[in-house]
Amino acid sequence: MTLQIPRHAPGTKIGLASLPDYPERIDVRSPAEFAIDHLPGAVNLPVLTDDERRQVGTLHAQDSAFAARRLGAALVARNIAHIVDTHCATRPRDWAPVVYCWRGGKRSASLAHVLNEIGWRAMQLDGGYRTWRRHVVEALTRVPAQFLYVVVCGLTGSGKSRLLAALGDEGAQVLDLELLARHRGSLLGDLPGDPQPSQKAFETDLLTTLGRFDPARPVYVESESRKIGAIQLPDALLDAMRGAACVRVDTPRTLRVALLRDEYTHFIADPASLADKLQPLVPVHGHKVIERWAAAAAAGDFATLVDELLATHYDPTYGRSMLRNFPRHAEAMRVTPHAIDMPAFRALARELDAQVNASFTVAA
């Protein structure tokens, strides 16, 4: 298949509507800016590092704008030379990347100019990352409402995340918000060694994921609250989810305990960290209860600990949340896992998806 070279003239500033024509995207902002959020698929080739940006800013404040521009120009020139020698070394003659910075200003213009002088067809994103961010914020007020959701409900440990993964494996459309937020959505939901993304990065990933869905097919999503760890869900998505049809996963308590033990092995290896995580529950359950749970963790009695946590804290809390936030929960279709391995959940996913699609066809 022949690559279709975009028809814009080299050096042109393009708008967001033209972005699909430019899958290769260069973000020239500093690594710290890039880490907060960036365009999907972008590679970070900073023309000023974090430390260099600070140097230029300090010089601007303490000396003059002229001195700051002189230093900045020298640093940018050196960094662009390195970019050309490394990242660009094997690029073909018809390479056509889009280059952007914070607002489509001098940083991206500098690299785009050099690339075009060499003979490539580099474009500059008009308005830079700031334009992209405004687009994400605006789109998330309306795009979530374009889809028909099926909310997967169930008590803690019922296997909702495993069912979502199985549905995805079986070809269903799945919006896994906990995967995007990198958090299991509870007091104990932090993922070891995998910090949550920034709010902006989460929203970019969310919009990108929604953009892959077909509005004519159902989208499965878990019954999340307003926040997943530190991440807040957009109001438009919450509104659409809370008015959606529900599926309830009714998993026997013994399987729930086994599943939670399987998924929270890091607490088994480090019971002291689990005890620390339980401290916020002291105002709810009292010091004696929390001390008893911490002692069970230290003794390795996780079956008893998990069973008590479910009965005393998680199940009542989840029940109240369902009544408050998902009014169609009472009429939910029910499915019951009989094992916690993925083959069992994939079989359940096939059965569930067939029933859901049949109900959607009848409704249509």
The reported pLDDT for the residue numbered 363 is 54
Do residues 114 and 80 touch, judged by C-beta distance below 8 A? yes
The reported pLDDT for the residue numbered 11 is 64
Average pLDDT estimate for 140-151: 97
Kindly tell me if the per-residue pLDDT of 146 is higher than 90: yes
The reported pLDDT for the residue numbered 235 is 97
Q: What is the 8-class DSSP label of residue 140? A: T
Kindly tell me if the per-residue pLDDT of 306 is higher than 80: yes
Establish how many alpha carbons lie within 13 A of residue 72's alpha carbon, considering only the half-sphere containing its beta carbon.
19
Give the other-Cβ count within 10 Å of 265's Cβ: 11
Residue type, 215: P
Q: Which two tokens stand for residue 48?
A: 């000023």
pLDDT digits (tens, 9 = 90+) for 59-114: 999 999 999 999 999 999 999 999 999 999 999 999 999 999 999 899 999 999 99
User: What is the rounded distance in angstroms from the CA atom of residue 311 to the CA atom of residue 315?
Assistant: 6
pLDDT band at 10 (very low <50, low <70, confident <90, very high): low
Calculate ∠ Cα 272-157-243, nearest 5°.
Answer: 125
Q: Where in the chain is the domain with CATH 3.40.250.10?
A: 13-138
By annotation, the residues acting in catalysis are 101
The reported pLDDT for the residue numbered 58 is 95
- What does pLDDT average to over the chain? 92
Kindly tell me if the per-residue pLDDT of 186 is higher than 80: no
Cβ-in-10-Å burial (0-12, 13-18, 19+) of 363 comes to exposed
CATH architecture of the domain formed by 13-138: 3-Layer(aba) Sandwich (3.40)
Do residues 158 and 256 touch, judged by C-beta distance below 8 A? yes
The reported pLDDT for the residue numbered 8 is 64
pLDDT digits (tens, 9 = 90+) for 152-169: 999 999 999 999 999 999
Kindly tell me if the per-residue pLDDT of 144 is higher than 80: yes
The reported pLDDT for the residue numbered 284 is 86
Q: Say how far residue 355 (Cα) sits from the centre of its chain.
A: 29
SS3 228: strand
Containing 222, the helix (H) or strand (E) segment is strand 219-222
Length of the chain: 364
pLDDT digits (tens, 9 = 90+) for 33-63: 999 999 999 999 999 999 999 999 999 999 9
Give the other-Cβ count within 10 Å of 64's Cβ: 11
Superfamily of domain 143-363: P-loop containing nucleotide triphosphate hydrolases (3.40.50.300)
Distances (CA, A) of 168 to 163, 176, 258: 9, 9, 23
Give the other-Cβ count within 10 Å of 93's Cβ: 8
Kindly tell me if the per-residue pLDDT of 175 is higher than 90: yes
Do residues 184 and 361 touch, judged by C-beta distance below 8 A? no
pLDDT band at 9 (very low <50, low <70, confident <90, very high): low
pLDDT digits (tens, 9 = 90+) for 257-301: 999 988 888 787 888 888 888 888 899 899 898 889 889 888 888
For tokens 């996913």, what's the residue?
Answer: 349
The reported pLDDT for the residue numbered 364 is 47
Q: What is the 8-class DSSP label of residue 167? A: H
The reported pLDDT for the residue numbered 125 is 97
Cβ-in-10-Å burial (0-12, 13-18, 19+) of 42 comes to buried
Kindly tell me if the per-residue pLDDT of 5 is higher than 70: no
Q: Where in the chain is the domain with CATH 3.40.50.300?
A: 143-363
